[in-house]
Amino acid sequence: MGVSSDARSQACIVGIGETDYTRRGGIQDRSELALACEAILNAARDAGITPDDIDGLASYANDESVPWLIQEALGLPHLRSATMVWGGGGGGCYASIAEAAAAVESGAANYVAVFRSLCQGQRKRFGQGYAVPHSPGFLDPFGMFAPPFMLAPLAQRYKQDYGIREEQVAEVALVARDNASRNPRAVFRDRPLDLETYLSSRMVADPFRLYDCCQENDGACALIVTTRERARDLDGPIIRILAAGQGSEPGWGSGGLGSHNMPEEDYRAGGGRTLSTRLYAKAGITPDDIDTAQIYDHFSYFVLMNLEAYGFCGRGEAGDFVAEGNIRWKGGKLPINTSGGHLSEAYIHGLNLAVEGVRQLRGTSTSQVENATLCLLANTASAAIIGRE
């Protein structure tokens, strides 16, 4: 039986590429643009295509490696599609995958490179204080001038309303560090972490302790997206993009970075509720079908919120869910952030989590989930479900 035209045009990930990851300021011999190009070239090589085949680019908010610079640096002969997702810092990470999928499925491009590059030692530091352009007069007087301070009230409300305990939240950080110990790419691979150290660490912005906060890193990574029909002409494994999208409930346009006027139920939930419903419906699956999840862990409390928003447990139940060992690599019902995540591998604004999701479905992760066929890439404002061919 022949394959339908819809199936042939379905978007797939066929290549992944990375640079080395370091702590902020660790890369001084290459520019942020050079890192972006390096990651894209590595992804193209992994896919078995040449740079000349790339005719689309996708990234997300605040990326200074703009498409025309990438085109010139790589000598791309035909750039037919170039998109950048707006807003939310790393909230658009998986939306850039959705943009790439839309481009290849519509015929706007044949091969799209999705990329993210950071070199914070040479330019803007994302963790330092800054004013959100549209609302500094509302946030700054309250000391909310950097992400930990902007987002702490949401986590505090969640913790208070649902009785979340610190040792439950610690499980997110401890699992990430354990997974990183097996990953040679992880910045914190040789830095073990135990519960006592977590609980005795300094408070950054209540309830965020030091180990609740992601790293600040230099590095880049990239994906190559094309159609299923073209993917079958390549030698590597095919990872299908079953669903990808973006969006959030009222008040979440800039999330806690610029708004604290969400409806009460959504404020303490972290967003993502309606997006998850749409994605599961499009993919034709349920949360029970997911084998592993790579969840945006800029702050550990939001991993708990996303576990609830994406249906792995009920509202307010994530503390008990993780305390029972469900997110651990060995023996867990839903192993998460198996490369170490942002907390312990690197913070490349979510895209390195997508690279790890592809590795899981290829069977090449350093913390491989047995027989993994479906992976969720989740954030409050964007998400994707990918599956093995």
Work out the end-to-end distance of the chain between its first and last CA atoms, rounded to an integer number of angstroms.
17
Tokens of 129: 């204080």
Which positions ≥6 away from 306 have C-beta within 8 Å? 270, 272, 295, 296, 378, 379, 380
Closest CA to 20 of 355, 364, 346: 346
Tokens of 26: 């660790």
Closest CA to 35 of 138, 120, 131, 127: 120
Pairing mode of beta strands 56-60, 81-85: parallel
Q: What's the farthest any 2 CA atoms get from each other in the chain?
A: 65
Please tell me the distance from the alpha carbon of residue 187 to that of residue 106, in angstroms, as a whole number: 38
State the Cα torsion 362-366-367-373 to the nearest 10°.
Answer: 0
Is 296 noted as a catalytic residue in this protein?
Answer: yes
Which of 158, 162, 296, 301 is flagged as catalytic? Answer: 296
Tokens 């609980």 sit at which residue?
199
Residue 74 — φ and ψ, nearest 5°?
A: -90, -10
Counting Cα atoms < 13 Å in the Cβ hemisphere of 159 gives 19
Tokens 């690197």 sit at which residue?
346
Q: Which residues pair with 239 in a beta bridge?
A: 13, 388
DSSP class of 257: G
> How distant, in Å, are the alpha carbons of 65, 193, 272, 337, 378 from that of 331?
41, 20, 27, 15, 22
Closest CA to 211 of 261, 175, 170: 170
Counting Cα atoms < 13 Å in the Cβ hemisphere of 149 gives 14
93 close to 352: Cβ distance less than 8 angstroms: no
Please tell me the distance from the alpha carbon of residue 269 to that of residue 305, in angstroms, as a whole number: 6
214 close to 118: Cβ distance less than 8 angstroms: no
Is 60 noted as a catalytic residue in this protein?
Answer: no
Residue 340 — φ and ψ, nearest 5°?
A: 115, -15
Active centre residues (catalytic): 296, 347
